[in-house]
Amino acid sequence: MPTWPFGRLDDIYTFWMNHGPDPEYGGFYGTLDRRGQAVEPTDKSLVQQSRHLWFLSTYFGRFPERRTQRLLEVIKSTRAFLLDHMRDPADGRFYHMAARDGSHGVQHGFDKSLYSNSFAIYGLATHGRILGDAESVAAALRAFKSWDDLAHDAENGGYLETESRPILDQVGAPKTLNTHLHVVEALAPLFQATGDALVQRRLAEVVEAVALKMVGNDDYLTGDYQANYTRFIKQPSDNSSGYDSPVVYGHGIEVLWLVNEALTEAVTVSAASAALIRSRLVAMAERVIREGFDPVNGMLADSGYPGQGPLQSRNAEWWAQAEAVLGLVRLAQYTGNATYLSYVSSALTYIDRYFRDKEYGEWYWSVYRENGTVVDSFSSDGRTYEGTTKGNSWKASYHSGRMVLNLQAWDKEYGEWYWSVYRENGTVVDSFSSDGRTYEGTTKGNSWKASYHSGRMVLNLQISSIAHKARISPHAVHAMVPPKRSLPPPLVLAGCLLLLLAVGQLRPAPGGAAAEGSEGWPAAFSRLLSQADQLLPDMLDDIYTFWMNHGPDPEYGGFYAMLDRRGQAVGPTDKSLVQQSRHLWFLSTYYGRFPERRTQRLLDVIKSTRAFLLDHMRDPADGRFFHMAARNGSHGVQHGFEKNMYSNLFAIFGLATHGRILGDAESVAAALRAFKSWDDLAHDAENGGYLETDSRCDRVPQVCTASRSAVRVPNWQPPTLCMFHATRPILDSSWVVRDEVAAPKTLNIHLHVVEALTALFQATGDALVQRRLAAIVEVVALKMVGDDYYITEHYHANYTRFVEQPSDNSTNKNSSSQLPIILYGPPVVYGHDIEVLWLVTEALAAVTLRLPANASSGAMAQPAAATADATTGGGPAAVWAGPAAVWATVSPASAVLIRSRLVAMAERVIREGFDPTNGMLAGSGYPGQGPSLSRNAEWWAQAEAVLGLVRLAQYTGNATYLSYVSSALTYIDRYFRDKEYGEWFWSVHRENGTVVDTFFSDGKVYEGTTKGSPWKASYHSGRMVLTLQAWLA
């Protein structure tokens, strides 16, 4: 038998046969270490047991000369464990997990899913066909028909994501690629074993659904879909441009060969349809290889956004490399392009060099891409494993064993030609050299093997050219983690400290080199002052007049929910807490800033908005606020409205600012009560900061520091509404309550906690507020900002980065500890990060000030008068009087470190996300890769860019940033500001500055000229102008 890959099969087979079988309870052990010793956890998964059954049964059928009694006993033991312990006799379906002894069911925390049941059908049907076991075949057929009755979509074809009692898919998507891919895999052997007509019809239906519906006209295949196979967007954002989650390259290349195998062996479709299916899959797979495969090293990356190349992941995983080999072989066959065979050779070399454990056998889970060493650890199923772990609930003999078995079968089937044989005996050479490289003797093609054309003739290929190829330009972006940025020089750090108590005055930091700027600090600052004097007063009048003339709702109070370009109220009419609170903040701040402009009309609108919040959006039972209310103020669960901490922070921010400026003690008390109520619910006493919360069950999911797994909620009933909001609950397959992205902590929450608590501390002097604010400031700057000076969106409870994109297993979603292959989960949102810089450093003024001796949790100082400082909720806060003063927990030394880290982070944002030529900040991007491929720029990010750049210029002494401020203001004035009707547009096209036709927000599509929505109020635009005026003054 040739050296590679066939000689390597023994490594895989021997490892599992020697170490895997559980002699006490049957089946295979749940977890094996590098040497094959059984270790914790001991739970056995349906996927794992079924994959072992498939591999051993296939091995049994492939090599009659190697059949032993021991092999037969292990096969029977695994088959018995599945049928006797993991099957529900009531419906014939299988549980996703079982304890080592076989106990299962909901009472043990185990449930069922179509995805894992597909592997049971696959393993049992293959086993039954090869070993003549009618009971196994019947069990597989019954399970299929039971799931077909439950989950088949008669209207659109394919299968809906379901649970057995009932369920919602983990990401909320009605259909997923991963389930459909493995339904194809399962039904092909089931049809071969049964000849059942329904199985054949469903198999043809799913094959066409994957190839002709899931694969888009852009030749990309993503992960989640609506019932009608339009792409499912979980969290619309500027970065995604229609692609919510990255393309998982391993799944894409697996689809190519697996669906085509089903097409050849079991599916009955017309020749024309078959040709179209294959052409679509080939075009998709070629995109995967161009964007995700590294031909130099022979490694397939995990995933990436379309057109942007691989994500910034440090790791490569075993399963994707195995699928790459099989997919590349088929891609070479279907296209006639011998380059793909050279890729096969390099991929096999990569696997053999780095993944294959030559000492103990089998493959490792994951290696570091930069050097091929085995990862220190990886996470899967909510658990962290040693990097050398060989088996767990997802890693069995399946991917590695299937790759070798399939390559062997394909080689014999198609009679591919070897490069060279020994003349004396006709055996294949051990190795040969070509193009300066040494290849295994069994390599079938490389860039010089012209005899491949004869092999193509033997294979009788009908497809040699794909129409899609002509219109796809090569594109590859290889991930490269950028070098760490050095801390600012000591003199700049010293300057930062001196600025702590002078945040209202704009001066370059001592030691900053004015020469770094293109025109020097004095010239740049003078130019900015002149521009601001000309631009800001008119811009502020536009904003204020627009909202005062059109926003107030005279019938029900507060502000209208939706305004078109001209300020006319339009639908939908529901009012959001964020929107109303932001208007209250802006108008109250305007009232305090300009005493000469105070009118009865302004005061009436402020009081109306304040009353709407307190009278209609507040829950008197706990003091927290509902996220939404109907136009007339009705709210609560019965109206489909919930509470969440994110929107409540704006209520705290608005009410505290309003109460301080207008001397309204009731508003301040309401803000303080809401804060303390949320603090009791969501504060993380162990790690600091705040956990994402679920108000429907009125508790926080209990999240451990190493994973995102949440505990069960006793007596909790599933919601009747399908809700998609960052802190609204969604059920996973085990009835676990968690937020939409499943991240225990988010930057967005923490950012606005800083904003809210700064205003609340200024209004109350409450010691608990100050302690929490100090802790949050340190958390954001010292924990969320990584050592690489990037700050991403989602985090674990212990502030390690949290990754949303699932790996090979569809149920293990969203954990960076589960998925070491992806270093950065969601992209960096540039607007949030630049906002963090100025907003957190403003908060430093509050958390380094003295408190009165009698200040304690619950103590509230007299609210400031209307003439007190009312700039932004930032700026210099009043220093609390009192001879016996105490200091907050942020020391001056910590403050210097905090600012230095934030400055380093912000400079990265500007380098990678800001266009200095046009003065525009992009929406988001992956670290080191620049902005995502989004056509649009949004209003709020431009406003935050201006404020962040001003502070960046101040803290670094680099006048270049002042010139960037000027260009950003020009960009806003030219493209976002509506000089005809007032206020700013939501979004413009980056390439030409024209207003977008439509935009997407809160699950709805709006006209591009819409001025007000649940998220767009007078806040970002008004805050930018008010804050900038205060700083420049």
Q: Is residue 358 part of a domain?
A: yes
> Which has the closest alpha carbon to 693: 677, 681, 703, 704?
681
942-964 pLDDT, tens digit per residue, is 999 999 999 999 988 899 999 99
Say yes or no: 465 and 555 in one domain: no
Amino acid at 422: Y
Say yes or no: 916 and 787 in one domain: yes
Q: Do the beta carbons of residue 1024 and residue 566 sit within 8 Å?
A: no
Which structural domain, as residue segments, surrounds residue 606?
495-792+827-1032
How far out from the chain centre does Cα 951 lie?
30
| Residue given tokens 């030409």 in the structure block | 992
CA distances from 226 to 167, 230, 234, 1001 (A): 16, 5, 11, 18
Q: Is residue 800 part of a domain?
A: no
Say yes or no: 402 and 519 in one domain: no
Stretches where the chain sits below pLDDT 70 are: 1-7, 105-110, 162-172, 234-245, 312-313, 411-428, 434-436, 439-519, 636-641, 693-742, 803-826, 845-889, 892, 932-934
SS (H, E, C) 386-413: ECCCCECCCCCCHHHHHHHHHHHHHHHH
- Helix/strand/coil for 601: helix
Say yes or no: 878 and 942 in one domain: yes
Q: Do the beta carbons of residue 866 and residue 661 sit within 8 Å?
A: yes
Query: What CATH number does residue 216 fall under?
Result: 1.50.10.10
Say yes or no: 501 and 455 in one domain: no
Number of domain units in the chain: 2
Residue where a domain terminates, one of 438, 471, 504: 471
Query: Euclidean distance between the first and final Cα of the chain, in Å?
Result: 82
How far out from the chain centre does Cα 916 lie?
28
Q: Do the beta carbons of residue 613 and residue 625 sit within 8 Å?
A: yes
Q: Is residue 105 part of a domain?
A: yes
CA distances from 958 to 346, 525, 910, 944, 952 (A): 48, 11, 13, 19, 8
Q: Is residue 102 part of a domain?
A: yes
Say yes or no: 408 and 502 in one domain: no
- Residue 974 is classified by DSSP as I
- Helix/strand/coil for 50: helix
Say yes or no: 696 and 838 in one domain: yes
Say yes or no: 149 and 212 in one domain: yes
Q: Do the beta carbons of residue 821 and residue 292 sit within 8 Å?
A: no
Q: Is residue 155 part of a domain?
A: yes
Which residues sit opposite 383 in a β-bridge? 380
Return the CA Rg of the chain: 31
Say yes or no: 434 and 573 in one domain: no
Say yes or no: 410 and 550 in one domain: no
Tell me if the pTM is above 0.75.
no
Q: Is residue 200 part of a domain?
A: yes
Q: Do the beta carbons of residue 313 and residue 301 sit within 8 Å?
A: yes
Say yes or no: 460 and 500 in one domain: no
Q: Do the beta carbons of residue 124 and residue 93 sit within 8 Å?
A: no
For residues 166 and 70, what is the distance between their CA atoms, to the nearest angstrom?
41
Say yes or no: 435 and 519 in one domain: no
For residues 104 and 110, what is the distance between their CA atoms, to the nearest angstrom?
6
Q: Is residue 161 part of a domain?
A: yes
State the Cα angle at 803 between 798 and 805, rounded to 5°: 155
Amino acid at 994: T
Q: Is residue 218 part of a domain?
A: yes
- Residue 471 is classified by DSSP as G
| pLDDT value for 347 | 94
